[in-house]
């Protein structure tokens, strides 16, 4: 069986949280007349909550509900959150498609290497599928994007750090967990992948550099595109000795000579 490369979206394909999701949330609050504006610092804390709708639900605390004249009925609140999230997703997707959020260093290169070697490619994310597909296409290009299975949004009951999205990806692709490398950017994502029994590389993003990545097989600043944007190694417990760029040979070494071998 071919090995698999599973990627998170936000922070892995592109550094989307600060420059994409946050302004889309704030523009949506303004559109709906909500007296809310999340700062970069506050949004960084909110990233501990997996999923955009889940973050929006914290607005439904009694004080804001009363102040903004929001409904108190649970069904009406659920529909309102869904409307907010649809509007935010449309804004965010338009921003991505404008080209404002380029792929992170090394992502297109590594994906091309894995595809050429016959690796199975997939994205596993708690973001809305429409957003994920837009980011994916811009990060790796349309020809490689169609090679991916995409598992995203509300397709599982529990979002990261629960392992559900990765367990779904394994079931649907038929991949052996021993033959899979995940690339994540956050502690929540790392915990989800580890709970699914998956070897995980972390590429830290603007919000996650200081998080606890115990259990990661490798932690780097990015996958790297030297000489302009080389990767810096932050933790290397497996002794891979990455020199500026994480390549397919490093992923093969993480899996071992049999699982990671090129077909």
Q: Catalytic annotation on 15? A: no
Q: What is the pLDDT of residue 98?
A: 87
pTM of the model: 0.84
Q: What is the pLDDT of residue 127?
A: 84
Q: What is the pLDDT of residue 76?
A: 97
CATH number of 17-97: 1.10.150.240
Residue numbers in the chain where pLDDT is lower than 70: 257-263
Phi, psi at residue 142, to the nearest 5°? -65, -35
Q: What is the pLDDT of residue 263?
A: 39
Question: Where are the domains positioned within the chain?
Answer: 4-15+102-255, 17-97
Gap between the Cα atoms of 184 and 84, Å rounded:
27
Q: Catalytic annotation on 10? A: yes
Q: What is the pLDDT of residue 101?
A: 86
Q: What is the pLDDT of residue 13?
A: 96
Q: Catalytic: which of 10, 15, 115, 185?
A: 10
Q: What is the pLDDT of residue 260?
A: 43
Q: What is the pLDDT of residue 75?
A: 97
How many Cα atoms within 13 Å fall on the side-chain side of residue 105?
Answer: 19
CATH number of 4-15+102-255: 3.40.50.1000
């Amino acid at each position: 069986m071919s090995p698999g490369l599973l990627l998170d979206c936000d922070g892995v394909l592109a550094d989307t949280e600060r420059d994409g999701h946050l302004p889309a949330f704030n523009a949506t609050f303004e559109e709906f007349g909500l007296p809310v504006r999340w700062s970069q610092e506050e949004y960084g804390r909110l990233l501990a909550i997996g999923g955009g709708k889940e973050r929006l639900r914290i607005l439904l605390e009694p004080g804001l509900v009363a102040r903004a004249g929001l409904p108190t009925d649970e069904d009406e609140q659920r529909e309102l959150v869904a409307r907010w999230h649809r509007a935010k997703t449309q804004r965010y997707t338009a921003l991505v498609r404008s080209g404002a959020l380029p792929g992170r260093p090394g992502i297109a290169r590594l994906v091309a290497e894995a595809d050429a070697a016959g690796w199975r490619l997939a994205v596993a994310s708690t973001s809305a599928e429409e957003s994920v597909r837009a980011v994916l296409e811009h990060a790796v290009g349309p020809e490689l994007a169609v090679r991916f299975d995409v598992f995203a949004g509300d397709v599982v009951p529990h979002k990261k750090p629960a392992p559900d999205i990765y367990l779904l990806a394994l079931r649907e692709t038929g991949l052996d967990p021993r033959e899979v490398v995940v690339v994540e950017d956050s502690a929540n994502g790392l915990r989800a992948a580890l709970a699914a029994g998956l070897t995980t590389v972390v590429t830290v993003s603007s919000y996650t550099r200081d998080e606890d990545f115990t259990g990661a097989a490798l932690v780097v600043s990015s996958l790297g595109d030297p000489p302009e944007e080389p990767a810096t190694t932050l933790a290397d417990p497996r002794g891979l000795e990455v020199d500026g760029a994480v390549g397919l040979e490093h992923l093969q070494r993480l899996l071992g000579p049999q699982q990671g071998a090129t077909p």
